[in-house]
Structure 1
Amino acid sequence: MKTFFTRTASALVFVAVMLGGILYTEFTFFLLFFLIGFFAFQEYFKLIRHIDADYNSISPVHKISAPLAGAAILCAFTGNSFPVLGVPLGLIGWWATVIFLLVMPLGEILFSKDFYLKNLGYSAIGLLYVIIPFGLLIHLRLNAINITYTPGNVGTAPGWLIPLLLIIFIWINDTMAYIVGSLIGKTPFAPTISPKKTIEGTVGGMVLAVATAAIYGHFWGSSYLSLQHWIVLASIAAIFGTIGDLIESKLKRMAGVKDSGNIMPGHGGFLDRFDSLLLAAPFAWIYVQSFMIY
């Protein structure tokens, strides 16, 4: 019972912080996902150290410059927003990104006791896997887009809409997958990675997430997005969100840990909470840029 109340309380705080950060201002959105991305990157480092002990031997320069490069990349996605002494934060971020991406390999080569090229690869993969998706979400939020929201009509979508919808669709998919799997799930989906997942639950969660989006989009959401956009975004969240969850589960299994961190009592770490978003966000960004911008 104590665990239930702990999980519930932390979940309520989590929802309040997420909604406040996403909806309040552009800066709170950036700050929210900057912090999430930064700490998720740290958890990724910890997983890699468990997976491959050689990563513990990286040089101090590498150890410092990798997270700084991640922070710089997140700043770079802000574009012309948030000027610092008249200079856009995005421009500062791009210059800092170039600097730290040069310093990281040079520092590893020159100052590591035992140089392993794979250690640079682990850090590079972390930047792609963890940092870039959050950067793309920030880009979506800070760049209002002209979209077709009903056939023949064009309007400007609020920047928070797509990121918020992705998170909601992922939550619906996860919740429905758990419920359906608990009720009728019998066939393991990926037993070596996530033994509790079933094919029935996974498919049920995807179908119900897309159906929910389609129903809402048809009856109430046409003033924001065309029906096909509701369906496609929900499909992206359900399909790639599920794959993202399996990828992080695989990393944890390889690392021999249950959770990536313990920032949320009863809910694990940042990677545990946002693993689905890491893969769904890039594909949603590609879809928006390719098919939604007028």
Structure 2
Amino acid sequence: MKTFFTRTASALVFVAVMLGGILWSPFTFFLLFFLISIFALQEFYKLMRLIDGDYASIPNWHRWGVAIAGGAVMLAFTGNHFSLGAVSTGFIGWWIAIIFLLVLPLGEILLEKDFAPKNLGYSCMGLLYAVIPFSLLTDIRLNAIDIHYTATGVGTAPGWLIPLLLIVFIWINDTMAYIVGSLIGRTPFFPSISPKKTIEGTVGGMILAVAAAGVYGYYFGQEILALQHWLVLAGIAAIFGTIGDLLESRLKRMAGVKDSGRIMPGHGGFLDRFDSLLLAAPFAWMYVHSFMMG
């Protein structure tokens, strides 16, 4: 019972913080996902150190350099929307990111006696996996003024809409997959990675997530988004969100841990909470820029 109340309380706090950060302002959106990306990045590197002990031996300047580069990349995607004096934060972010991404490999080669190229690979993988997706969500949030959202291509969507819909669709997919899997699940999906997932639950969750988006979009949402956008975004969240969940589960199995972290009582770490979004976000960004931007 104590565990139930702990999980419930932390979930309520999590939802409140997420909604507040996403809806309040562009800056709170950026700040929310900036912090999430930094914590997720550190959890990813912890997993890498458990998977490959050689990565645990990287010097402190490498650890700090990658963290600063990750923050700089997030900052770079803000473009001209925020500024420090007369200089945009996007400009500052790009310069810091470029400098640190150049210094890191040079420092490894020149300063380290036992230079291991794979360690640089792990660091770059972390930036791609845990920072770029949130940077792309920030780009969608700050540039939503150009999104043509209705069937006739008139008007613009609020900046927070697409990121929030992705999160909602992922939640619907996960919930429906659990319910369907519990009721009729028989065939293991990826038993070597996630023994509890079934094909029936996975497919059922995807179908119901897209169906829910379609029903809501058709009857209530076409003034906000054209119906095809509801369906495609739900499909992206369901398909790539599921793959993202499996990917993080695979990393945890390789590292020999149950959770990526312990930041959230009863819910694991940041990677555990956002693993689906990490893979869904880049594909949603590609769809938005290809079919929803003017």
TM over 0.5: yes
Matching residue of 2:185: 185
- Corresponding pairs, count: 294
Partners of 1:153 and 1:260 in 2: how far apart?
Answer: 42
Displacement of 1:257 in angstroms is 0.3
TM, length-normalised to structure 1 = 0.98
Mark the runs of 5 or more structure 2 residues left unpaired by the alignment.
none
* Per-residue deviation, 1:61: 2.1
8 Å Cα contact 1:59-1:108 kept in structure 2: no
1:150-179 per-position Cα deviation (integer Å, ceiling 9, x unaligned) = 332411111100000000000000011011
Check the 8 A contact 1:59/1:113 in 2, yes or no.
Answer: no
CA contact (8 A) 1:57 1:114 kept: no
- Report Cα offsets for 1:166-219 as digits up to 9, x if no partner: 000000000110111111111100000000000011001100100000000001
TM-aligned CA deviation for residue 85 of structure 1: 1.7
Instruction: Give 1:36 shift.
Output: 0.1
Q: Secondary structure at the match of 1:155?
A: coil
Other-structure match for 1:279:
279
**Equivalent residue number for residue 55 of structure 1:** 55
2:151, 2:222 within 8 Å by CA — same for their partners in 1? no
Structure 2 CA distance for aligned equivalents of residues 210 and 151 of structure 1 = 18
Greater shift, 57-66 or 118-127, is seen at 57-66
SS at match of 1:186: coil
1:285–1:35 CA distance, 2 compared to 1 (3 A):
same
The percent identity for this pair of structures is 73
Q: CA deviation at 1:113?
A: 4.0
- Equivalent residues of 2:151, 2:227 under 8 A apart: no
Q: For 1:71 and 1:153, locate their aligned partners in 2 and report how far apart those are by CA, in whole Å.
A: 35
Rounded to whole Å, the distance in 2 between the matches of 1:203 and 1:126 is 29
Counterpart Cα distance in 2 of 1:109 and 1:62:
12
Distance 2:119 2:48 in 1: 9
Aligned to 2:239: 239
Structure 1 range deviating more: 146-155 or 275-284: 146-155
Deviation sequence 1:59-91 (CA, Å, 0-9, x none): 222111111100000000000012112211000
Question: By how many angstroms is 1:110 displaced?
Answer: 2.4
Distance 1:141 1:148 in 2: 14
Q: Residues of 2 paired with 1:150 and 1:250: CA distance?
A: 39
CA distance in 2, matches of 1:151, 1:265: 43
Give the SS at the match of 1:264. coil
1:213-270 Cα deviation digits (max 9, x unpaired): 0000001101111000000000000000000000000000000000000000000000
Q: CA distance change for structure 1 residues 283 and 233 in 2, over 3 Å: closer, same or farther? A: same
**In the alignment, is the contact (CA less than 8 A) between 2:148 and 2:157 conserved in 1?**
no
Per-residue CA deviation, residues 34-77 of structure 1 (Å, 9 max, x unaligned), is 00000000000100000000001212221111111000000000
Matched, 1:128 2:128: yes
d(CA) in 2 for partners of 1:60, 1:104: 12
Moved over 6 A (4+): none
2-side partners of 1:292 and 1:86: how far apart? 32
